[in-house]
Structure 1
Amino acid sequence: MKLYKRYILYICTCFGLFLSPLCTTSAGAKDFIVVIDAGHGGHDPGALGKFSKEKTINLNVALKLGKQIKRNCPDVKVIYTRERDIFIPLDRRAEIANNAKADLFISIHTNSIANNRTAKGASTWTLGLAKSDANLEVAKRENSVILYESDYKTRYAGFNPNSAESYIIFEFMQDKYMSQSVHLASLVQKEFRQTCKRADRGVHQAGFLVLKASAMPSILVELGFISQPEEERYLNSEAGSTTLANGIFRAFLSYKREQEIRLNGSSQTPLPENTDADRAEEANADSAEPDMAQDNPAPSRETSRQPTIPANGSAKTRNHTGNASGKPTGSAAPVFKIQILTSSHLLSPNDKRLKGLKNVEHYKEGGIYKYTYGASTDYNRVLRTKREITPKFKDAFIIAFKNGKKTNVNAAIGEFKKNRNK
């Protein structure tokens, strides 16, 4: 009898081992995880309008966005940093996303400018060094949330949200998710412009602590200006909050689908249906200027001097798809360029946003046209050129290509220095 029982146990064990790979594959399939962060909350009201508080607007849009994703994307797990009016420390928000091993982090906020009742429109931000005083002020306002925390000096290593010196830490920061963050931000702005009919204030960069601490592609959305009476009414309306949530949702769908196709070659995520504005802009892409090209916010990693170029005459663009460096495929030395702006559509050679530069080039990445200037294998020469055009293109930054493929700019700089010293 004992021998019989052992035989049955042996058969069951073998059968279980045979099935286990199938079960593991099914059960181990990871959902796409998005963390939605409604900025401020509890005793932190955020920006104040005439009759409303930022924290309420943020939460309303965040919950509507999450509901849209849950309803339409069964393979997506939605996690909120808060679902009610409570205070969550800034570092805890990022911790929630990191612990969940999230694929995306979307932080929702509402803008405000003191003594300015005309500012309007939506913007989307990624992590980086603020290139203007206006961008720095946005980061200061959002980071000042930590002042509500009694131990903020310890928790944030002495970071002072109101001191410009504290933001130096963002200058040399490496963010491996920058490209994905910028692309998602561009998709959000496209939807705000086309679907939501919002004034498009573009994609920008600044030193946000909540984005710095998150280990995944991350964006911070500024829905509009609570300091502007008309905007405040819109942001608090059912139609306004629903439209804004839908715009972010559509961008999320596009981003998720693109990532799945890139990784797996196919995707079950449906693209949002084209609006009339989408179709009109696509039809006119080659013959008319788009509403607005996004400023690319990726941070400059350079601190050296930078030089000179002619800034008059009509601009020319060259398509470098397939060989973005503009050099023969076999070229060993890295080629440096200055990325000056991006656009969801191809710009005409005399587009005013090129600001008269000659020999402007472009390449396409992630469905976005990216415009560059001043290609050279001499990094110092490109640095000098960048300084010359910075007054016209404040968010310009240096990128590098090797053998026709985009490469890490710091590695390219190291190779340039090594070759120069030979």
Structure 2
Amino acid sequence: MPRLKKLIIYCLGILFLISAESAFAQKNGFTVVIDPGHGGRDPGAVGSSSKEKDIVLSVGKKLGELIKNNHKDVNVLYTRDTDKFVELNKRAEIANKAKADLYISLHCNALDRKRQSPQGVETFVLGLHRSKDNLDVAKAENSVILYEDDYSTKYQGFNPNEPESYIMFEFMTDQYLQQSVYFASLVQNKLVNNSKRVNRNVRQAGFLVLREVAMPSILVELGYISNAVDERYMKTESGQRSLANSVYIAFNEYKREYDKKSHVFTNPNRQTATTSSPATRAEARDGASEYRVQFLTASGKLSNNSPQLKGLKPVDFYVEGSTYKYTYGSTSNLNEINNTLKTVRAKFKDAFVVEFRNGVRVR
């Protein structure tokens, strides 16, 4: 029981740190961290003629180059870009220090050679193990900490081979789960349809490296190195290029949606003018936050009975440049605005919460 309490306290501490990191982060641009698993003295899974550490490093660097070449506003960081061993907590530290917006961990799966190996790609997000197979994958990837000195102290007594250690994941935050699942679904879809990989679905499991990062994050198993067909594909240059390209296409879609909801425009010195109907707005004291649900943009002002508003009344708007941004609801209570968001999303699925202070949109 003392050990269980220690695990729970540690998890609650992580929750606090993640919340603090999110609340106070102020960054410019978008940062993605690419994490090729294993490396150096840790080969990862070993196939008949290849090693996981080499395959994922090659795919990771190809992915990074695609992002750099096509998204000048994105900062690409690697947890490793050479064949070196990097401890799991150091990988997370790289991402957290950079206040990254997205974390992509790349791996290859494997089964014991005594068992017939399946084939295909899986994309994981942090969560509970829904099956023994998911737990086995998490155990295999988490076992990298056994290469680290004093891992028991460093990871608060976590032992990757003991199922009871994974109880801590029941207490982990789902703060980034929705974004992680969305991105994981994009990646899985592109790997299956673009690279023609066998689909083993999006899954949840307790990966230490995903637990430690304070941002949307996924872990991709690019294929089974213990399967002859998968291994042959993954170790070829063309296969690695295709895998990297599929993940890149998914990233491109994710980034486009991120920009849409973050309202990234070409003019960094834009001014925001707010025009509102006072009756629809909450009275907020100076400096206090006011929350609204933004659901629509238009090139001009809409009439109150416009069919584009889908019957929402009363609505508010603010203006950026020549674009009218329409909002619904106004409150200083986050729980209340989240309930409003659910209502609005029944009509506008891309609606999201925006924050104002003294009538000005907070970025």
The aligned residue for residue 405 of structure 1 is 342
The aligned residue for residue 229 of structure 1 is 228
1:177-196 deviation line (CA, Å, top 9, x unaligned): 10000000000011012111
Amino acid at match of 1:100: A
Do the aligned residues in 2 keep the contact of 1:38 with 1:108 (CA within 8 Å)? yes
Q: How do 1:128-139 and structure 2 match up within 5 A?
A: 128-139=127-138
RMSD between aligned residues:
2.3
Amino acid at match of 1:51: S
1:376-422 deviation line (CA, Å, top 9, x unaligned): xxxxxxxxxxxxxxxxxxxxxxxxx9467189xxxxxxxxxxxxxxx
Q: Structure 1 residues 213-222 or 107-116, which shifts more?
A: 107-116
Amino acid at match of 1:47: A
Q: How many Å separate the matches in 2 of 1:133 and 1:264?
A: 42
The aligned residue for residue 239 of structure 1 is 238
Q: How do 1:240-259 and structure 2 match up within 5 A?
A: 240-259=239-258
Q: Shift of the alpha carbon at 1:173? A: 1.5
Q: Structure 1 residues 113-122 or 170-179, which shifts more?
A: 113-122
User: Larger RCO: Structure 1 or Structure 2 (Cα < 8 Å, ≥ 6 residues apart)?
Assistant: 2
**Do structure 1's residue 126 and structure 2's residue 125 form an aligned pair?**
yes
Q: How many Å separate the matches in 2 of 1:267 and 1:241?
A: 34
Do the aligned residues in 1 keep the contact of 2:190 with 2:249 (CA within 8 Å)? yes
Q: How do 1:53-132 and structure 2 match up within 5 A?
A: 53-114=51-112, 115-132=114-131
Do the aligned residues in 2 keep the contact of 1:257 with 1:267 (CA within 8 Å)? no
Q: How do 1:207-222 and structure 2 match up within 5 A?
A: 207-222=206-221
Q: How many Å separate the matches in 2 of 1:87 and 1:69?
A: 24
Task: Assess, with a 3 A threshold, how the Cα gap between structure 1 residues 225 and 33 changes in structure 2: closer, same or farther.
Answer: same
Q: How many Å separate the matches in 2 of 1:71 and 1:39?
A: 23
Do the aligned residues in 1 keep the contact of 2:117 with 2:224 (CA within 8 Å)? no
Q: How many Å separate the matches in 2 of 1:116 and 1:67?
A: 37
The aligned residue for residue 382 of structure 1 is none
Amino acid at match of 2:141: E
1:277-329 deviation line (CA, Å, top 9, x unaligned): xxxxxxxxxxxxxxxxxxxxxxxxxxxxxxxxxxxxxxxxxxxxx99xxxxx9
Q: How many Å separate the matches in 2 of 1:406 and 1:61?
A: 42
Q: How many residues of Structure 1 are paired with residues of Structure 2 in the alignment?
A: 251
1:19-49 deviation line (CA, Å, top 9, x unaligned): xxxxxxxxx9812110000000000000010
1:132-159 deviation line (CA, Å, top 9, x unaligned): 1110000000000000011101100000
Q: SS state of the match for residue 39, structure 2?
A: coil
Amino acid at match of 1:104: L
TM-score, length-normalised on structure 1? Answer: 0.57
Task: Assess, with a 3 A threshold, how the Cα gap between structure 1 residues 260 and 118 changes in structure 2: closer, same or farther.
Answer: same
Q: SS state of the match for residue 405, structure 1?
A: helix
Q: How many Å separate the matches in 2 of 1:91 and 1:55?
A: 18
Unmatched runs of 5 consecutive residues or more in structure 2: 1-25, 268-308, 313-337, 345-363
Q: SS state of the match for residue 159, structure 1?
A: coil
Q: Shift of the alpha carbon at 1:83? A: 0.6
Q: Which has the larger radius of gyration?
A: 1
Amino acid at match of 1:215: A
Task: Assess, with a 3 A threshold, how the Cα gap between structure 1 residues 266 and 67 changes in structure 2: closer, same or farther.
Answer: same
Q: How do 1:136-285 and structure 2 match up within 5 A?
A: 136-264=135-263
Q: How many Å separate the matches in 2 of 1:150 and 1:118?
A: 32
Do the aligned residues in 2 keep the contact of 1:261 with 1:267 (CA within 8 Å)? no
Unmatched runs of 5 consecutive residues or more in structure 1: 1-27, 269-321, 324-328, 330-400, 408-422
Q: Shift of the alpha carbon at 1:266? A: 6.4
Q: How many Å separate the matches in 1 of 2:52 and 2:213?
A: 22
TM-score, length-normalised on structure 2? Answer: 0.66
Percent of paired sites with the same residue: 54
Task: Assess, with a 3 A threshold, how the Cα gap between structure 1 residues 74 and 406 changes in structure 2: closer, same or farther.
Answer: same
Q: Shift of the alpha carbon at 1:239? A: 0.9
1:98-135 deviation line (CA, Å, top 9, x unaligned): 00111111000000011344411111000011111110
1:60-93 deviation line (CA, Å, top 9, x unaligned): 1000000111111111111000011000000000
Q: How many Å separate the matches in 1 of 2:150 and 2:343?
A: 43
Q: Shift of the alpha carbon at 1:200? A: 1.1
Q: How many Å separate the matches in 1 of 2:40 and 2:80?
A: 10
Task: Assess, with a 3 A threshold, how the Cα gap between structure 1 residues 33 and 133 changes in structure 2: closer, same or farther.
Answer: same
Q: SS state of the match for residue 174, structure 1?
A: coil
Task: Assess, with a 3 A threshold, how the Cα gap between structure 1 residues 265 and 69 changes in structure 2: closer, same or farther.
Answer: closer
Amino acid at match of 1:208: F
**Do structure 1's residue 41 and structure 2's residue 30 form an aligned pair?**
no
Q: How many Å separate the matches in 1 of 2:215 and 2:185?
A: 17
The aligned residue for residue 334 of structure 1 is none
